[in-house]
Amino acid sequence: MTPDLINAVFELSGAVLMWLSVARLYRDKKVRGVYWPATALFATWGGWNLIYYPVLGQWASLASACLLCAANSSWVLLALRYRKR
């Protein structure tokens, strides 16, 4: 496997786990035991990866990073919404 594919597997694994977290947060509608700014930082980093991976020609990583960035961003938006309740 190339470094791009190895990195893409990590990004994709993170995306799957984060989408499970999004589903859980949506179901529970409560943010507990999680410091939401930490996930916001990773969402921002994910946004940077959407710029960075094409520069490196890492297209598999870019595809996985899109999913991970969307999951992190979705989680943060839900967390902001539900923390006010």
Domain ranges of the chain: 3-83
pLDDT at residue 34, as a whole number: 85
Asked if 68 contacts 9 with a C-beta cutoff of 8 angstroms, the reply is no
pLDDT (tens digit per residue) in 28-81: 999 988 888 999 999 999 999 999 999 999 999 999 999 999 999 999 999 999
pLDDT at residue 33, as a whole number: 84
pLDDT band at 85 (very low <50, low <70, confident <90, very high): low
Residue 51's nearest CA partner among 65, 31, 68, 32 is: 65
45: three-class secondary structure by DSSP: helix
Residue 1 has pLDDT above 80, yes or no: no
> Domain 3-83, what fold?
Monooxygenase (1.20.1280)
Asked if 84 contacts 31 with a C-beta cutoff of 8 angstroms, the reply is no
What does pTM read for this prediction?
0.89
